[in-house]
Structure 1
Amino acid sequence: MTGLQQSYRPADTSAELVDMPIGMLLAQRCAQHPDRVALVGTRHGTGERVRLTYRQLYTEAVQTAAALSHLAEPGRSIAVWAPNVVEWTVIQYAAALAGLVLVALNPVLRDDELEYALTHSGAAVLLHADVSRDYPMAEVASRVTARIPGLQRISLSEDRWRAPDTDQAMALPDVSPDAVAMLQYTSGTTGRPKGVALTHRALVNVARLTLETADARTGAVCVNPLPMFHTAGCVIATLGPLWLVGTAVLIDRFTPAGALEVLRAEQPDVLFYVPAILEALLAVQRAERPPAPRIPIIMGGAALVSPELIDGAAEVFGATVLNLFGQTELAPVLSMTRPGDSREDRLATVGRPLAQVECKIVDPASGAVVAVGEPGEICARGYQQFVGYLHDPAATAVTVDADGFVHTGDLGAMDERGYLTVTGRLKDVIIRGGENISPADVERQLAGHPGITDIAVLGLPDDRWGEIVAAVLRAVGDPADIAKNLVAQAQSVLAPYKVPSRWFVADEFPVTPTGKVRKFALRDAILRGELREL
């Protein structure tokens, strides 16, 4: 579309939506291509690398769905807490077949964080790994679930989360495409993560349209080093290959050298990335100089992607690098660059919205749509938007306006062609390597130390992670000793990626007339070198 006068782009209706739940799509693919490889990955506990055909994957999913149906009724939530193992994908499909809501949990959650998610979601069952990167998940799960009445805990090492008789599949329920398929916990600005409810229709169609817009071929081999508990990993990188009758290749524990070995062995059509992963792959490939794997499509985002990174991946891997933009509440892709876009558009924009979604840029204060090229808040409305925040209608009402548009909290501009450029964020969220971190959540865990009168947590720019977590203290006593104690405290109660990696001290905090800390002023002072680093 050309000639836009306002920053509003109507939905492109040239692509029709498909009307089926996730389990039905898997069943169709099994019936059509039973012997094609569907999933490559590592088994939990054994480290065995397996290659499952569509028939094998569907059989395992049906067995698991039958077992889960005896543990929870349709519509109830079950939680999966594990790294990128084959069982994660099996459970995802099993939950879909059984009409259960899958609660996707980060495997690094600490006790308090895990207890909150399980309690808030009302999960009937927790399926968990025993260990991940030396983190004793079984011990943590045992402690936490003992405090939650009625919650069943099952290790992935046990057999009782699978039923041996696939004939029980006949008892599986009919599942509506509009039923909630997944609950994702995402950090906002007010502390505790919010539960984002997403439907089967949203997940299937976003995955399909994203891969089709990328011009990925039918049968594409897609390598996924992204964590499965994020929508990028369990939606785009899982259901996308399913739509294409392709192969999803899981990398269970990312290391640059190990991932490059997988890429050379699997000869993928698609690699999914966040900037930190792609940067690490490029650095090792350039340093060691073995034959570089050829990767036709590299697609991802989750932070601003530098032109150097895009050009570097194109040069080293021979790839078309596509930049995606969105958020969990949009399941998760709103817009993306296309293979046919100009180099300038691929380097400087996040492309155009996917089909079947409207987009507008509004003045954050008035809510009015701004003129083309003017900055404002990016908003979207479409089939893929979330149903709401679980148990939080007030937060849902703040995020979704009276016209049904989701306010992303991201700032940007739209040109006359409908291309989007992201310029910043309205909301106070730190995005470190694709992980959303609520500063308020970190501050809550660190507050109360007798040696500090105030603490402010904020994001600082970082070449590798996009942003890192930093903390600024107003201290009474020795700030260095206080910071050391706070680091130990943070490590005991927060997931590692939330722990501040840089600590600063200030005599006073700049505040608004209402007393709110002006964090952007603190950030600017740090970048100018005006605050002492501990």
Structure 2
Amino acid sequence: MFPHPQARVFAAGTADDLTAQALTDRIEHVAERLATLPPGPLFCGMRNDLVSVLRYLGAWHSGRPVALLDPELPGAVLADLARRFRPAALLGFANAPDGPLRRPADGPAPHPDLALLLATSGSTGDPKLVRLSRRAVLDNAAAIASALSIGPGVVSPTSLPMHYSYGLSVLNSHLIAGAAVVLTDDSLLQRSFWNDVDAYACTSLAAVPYQYTMLQRLRFDRANHPTLTTLTQAGGRLDEALVKEFAAQADRFYVMYGQTEATARIAVLPPDRLADKPGSVGVTVPGGRLSVEAGEVVYHGSNVMMGYAHTAADLALGDELGGVLRTGDLGELDSEGFLTITGRLRRIAKVFGIRVNLDDIERLLHDAEPAAATSGDDRVTVWTEGLAAADRAALARRLGAELRVHWSAFDVRSIDRLPLLSTGKIDYRALESLT
């Protein structure tokens, strides 16, 4: 059953404290209202609030596919999505286009298995949507709940945007396991967020590497929040020093790996293996299987997407992948099945005829200054924050020496601040647009 009979939802700063039955009643009411809309998918601007959660679950209850998107999407991007996908309605967006939506004349209905649509990470100019089935969402939520020992008594705040698969997985895994979620749109950098953590006796917190970096700078001290026993991390590689620092402040610290194309989570590193498996992202979640083929990580499981969608016609397609996801990540599996991500298949540049791993460049520079690498015309552009001209030239020579490529292959540039996505990852598309 979804939600679980013991699940609970709190809306921070309001009197809304919904038990599973109260939540179900509200969901059914919203589903009845959504049923009056024309056929087709719903597009919802997904905020970390009760209205958005009820829309999502109401659509789920009514069997209607729903796209959960950034509520602050630029008007032009949202208008293009509406033109291509012909949704029944646009709900909860700050920049919704004026005028009525164009409806398809006699287009095919969405596939009956289709439940959820999420934008791929970093999709801005020409977003494609990930098609997720009802089974994929439920199976992955249950697998996460099992791997993280989520159940009644666990209370988590919405510390990540829920139009992002990691953030949504917190909601889904808690509701399916009878745990509680505290809905808040406040940031981890705001005092009000931590007031809510304490007021609702939150026990678990999910964050991405950027957020852990910020918490370190703010001198986070778990002793100030005694109910907070569990920390989880996904959304990219977290520096080993930070893993150790925050693991020392928690009873349980989980390192995880996943992709939107696998609904959310693929692998989890159990807390008791942090010490002897440094750098690993763990073993597959229950029900999944990992392999490495020609260096690429391949995941097998029921939580793999049905495929991508570029237009409304794609929503009628069935499962195109058969539960097999080629992740695009490079990795290694050890004898116990623990996975280590070593790079990105498509993060490879060829300069002067030599293959250069852009992730390797970023790792080389990690201890010196914040940096990002993108590829161009037979050169690699390295973006640094506020580096002087002489230092940039020295950095290019250092990279040339360490990677055994002539230093002129590296165009080192300075930028005030590296652009980040809402997930905390570097926005490479924004950087590429500056070249």
Q: TM-score, normalised by structure 1?
A: 0.61
Which residue does the alignment assign to 1:55? 21
Q: Distance in 1 between matches of 2:65 and 2:11?
A: 24
Query: 2:49: which partner in 1?
Result: 85
Residues 422-469 of structure 1, C-alpha deviation per residue, up to 9 Å, x if partnerless? 01111259xxxxxxxxxxxxxxxxxxxxxxxxxxx99967979x9877
Are the aligned partners of 1:362 and 1:377 in contact in 2 as well (CA < 8 Å)? Answer: yes
In structure 2, the partner of 1:249 is: 182
Of residues 285, 293, 310, the one that matches 1:354 is: 285
Evaluate the alpha carbon distance shift between residue 301 and residue 351 of structure 1 in structure 2; reply closer, same or farther with a 3 A threshold.
Answer: same
Check 1:189–1:81 CA distance in 2 against 1; reply closer, same or farther (3 A cut): closer
Q: How far did residue 97 of structure 1 move?
A: 0.7
Structure 2 residue 34 is the aligned partner of structure 1 residue 68 = yes
How far apart, CA to CA, are the structure 2 residues paired with 1:267 and 1:66?
A: 34
Aligned to 1:25: 2
Question: Which residue pairs with 2:273 in the alignment?
Answer: 341
Q: Does 1:291 align with 2:224?
A: yes
Deviation string 1:250-271 (CA, Å, 9 cap, x unpaired) is: 2212142333222222222321
* CA deviation vs aligned residue, 1:57-91 (integer Å, no higher than 9, x gap): 11111111000011033xx2101114211111111
Equivalent position of 1:214 in the other structure: 148
> Kindly tell me: are residues 502 and 78 of structure 1, through their superposed partners in 2, closer, same or farther at Cα, counting changes over 3 Å?
farther
Distance (Å, rounded) in 1 between the aligned partners of 2:285 and 2:244: 24
Q: Are residues 51 and 470 of structure 1, via their aligned partners in 2, closer, same or farther at CA, if it must alter by over 3 Å?
A: farther
Q: In the TM superposition, what whole-angstrom CA distance separates every residue of 1:344-375 from its partner, at most 9, and x where no partner exists?
A: 32x32000111222211111xxxxxxxxxxxx
What is aligned with 1:149?
102
Distance 1:82 1:104, change over 3 A: closer
- Deviates further, 100-109 or 252-261: 252-261
Change in Cα spacing, 1:91 to 1:292, as seen in structure 2 (3 Å) is same
Do residues 281 (structure 1) and 247 (structure 2) align? Answer: no
Identical columns (%) = 22
Look up the match of 1:39: 9
Question: Which amino acid in structure 1 is aligned with residue 339 of structure 2?
Answer: L
Change (3 A) 1:53 1:422: same
Distance 1:412 1:504, change over 3 A: farther
Please show how residues 8-19 of structure 1 align to structure 2 within 5 Å. none
Could you tell me which amino acid in structure 1 is paired with residue 99 of structure 2? A
- Which residue identity lines up with residue 308 of structure 1 in the other structure? A
In 1, are the aligned partners of 2:89 and 2:101 still within 8 Å (CA)? Answer: no
Checking the alignment, whether the CA contact within 8 Å between 2:258 and 2:266 is kept in structure 1 is yes
Deviation by residue 1:311-369 (Cα, 9 ceiling, x = unmatched): 222233x3311111110110121111113325232x32000111222211111xxxxxx
Structure 1 pair 299/524, CA: closer, same or farther in 2 (3 Å)? farther
Could you list the runs of 5+ residues in structure 2 that have no partner in the other structure? 105-110, 349-357, 378-383, 393-402, 416-435
Secondary structure, aligned partner of 2:78: helix
| Aligned 8 A contact 2:287 2:301 in 1 | yes
SS of the residue 2:330 aligns to = strand
Contact 2:43 2:90 in 1 (8 A): yes
Q: Measure the CA separation in 2 of the matches of 1:525 and 1:189.
A: 32
Q: 1:189 to 1:117 in 2, by over 3 A?
A: closer
Residue identity matched to 1:260: W
Q: Is the 8 A contact 2:240 2:279 kept in 1?
A: yes
2:279 counterpart letter in structure 1: A
Per the alignment, residue 419 of structure 2 pairs with: none
The separation in 2 between residues aligned to 1:323 and 1:269, in whole angstroms, is 17
**Is 1:125–2:89 an aligned residue pair?**
yes
Label 1:305 to 1:54 Cα distance change in 2 as closer, same or farther (>3 A). same
User: 2:254 pairs with 319, 322, 325, which one?
Assistant: 322
Instruction: Could you tell me which runs of 5 or more consecutive residues in structure 1 were left unpaired when the two chains were aligned.
Output: 1-23, 130-136, 152-175, 364-375, 430-456, 475-499, 507-520
The one-letter amino acid paired with 2:304 is Q
Count matched residues.
375
- Given the superposition, is the C-alpha separation of residues 313 and 319 from structure 1 closer, same or farther in structure 2, using an over 3 Å criterion? farther
Aligned match of 1:383 in 302, 308, 323? 302
Partner residue in 2 for 1:496: none
Partner of 1:238: 171
Deviations 1:222-269 (A, max 9, x none): 2221101012122x2111111221111122121423332222222223
Q: Which residue of 2 aligns with 1:15?
A: none
Q: How does 1:83-482 map to 2 (within 5 A)?
A: 83-129=47-93, 137=94, 140-141=95-96, 144-146=97-99, 148-150=101-103, 179-187=113-121, 192-234=126-168, 236-256=169-189, 257-286=191-220, 291-316=224-249, 318-345=250-277, 347-363=278-294, 376-391=295-310, 405-428=324-347
Q: Contact 2:305 / 2:323 at 8 angstroms: preserved in 1?
A: no
* 8 Å Cα contact 1:95/1:101 also seen in 2: yes
1:533 lines up with 2:424 in the alignment: no
Tell me if the contact between 2:48 and 2:184 (Cα under 8 Å) persists in the aligned partners. yes
CA displacement at 1:50 relative to structure 2: 2.8
Q: Which residue identity does 1:61 align to in structure 2?
A: I
Aligned AA (1:248):
V
Aligned equivalents of 1:386, 1:289: Cα separation in 2: 37
Distance 2:176 2:196 in 1: 22
* Contact 1:222–1:270, Cα closer than 8 Å, also in 2: yes
Q: For residues 401-429 of structure 1, what are the alpha-carbon distances to aligned partners after superposition, in whole Å with 9 as ceiling and x for unaligned?
A: 7x863111111111111100001111259
Q: Match of 1:120, as an amino acid? A: R
Query: Post-superposition shift, 1:272?
Result: 1.2
Deviation, structure 1 residue 533: 3.3
C-alpha spacing 1:190/1:51, structure 2 compared with 1 (3 Å): closer
Q: Give the superposed CA RMSD.
A: 4.0
The answer to whether the 8 A contact 1:470-1:501 is kept is no
User: In the TM superposition, what whole-angstrom CA distance separates every residue of 1:120-145 from its partner, at most 9, and x where no partner exists?
Assistant: 3321111115xxxxxxx1xx21xx24
- SS of the aligned residue for 1:39 comes to strand
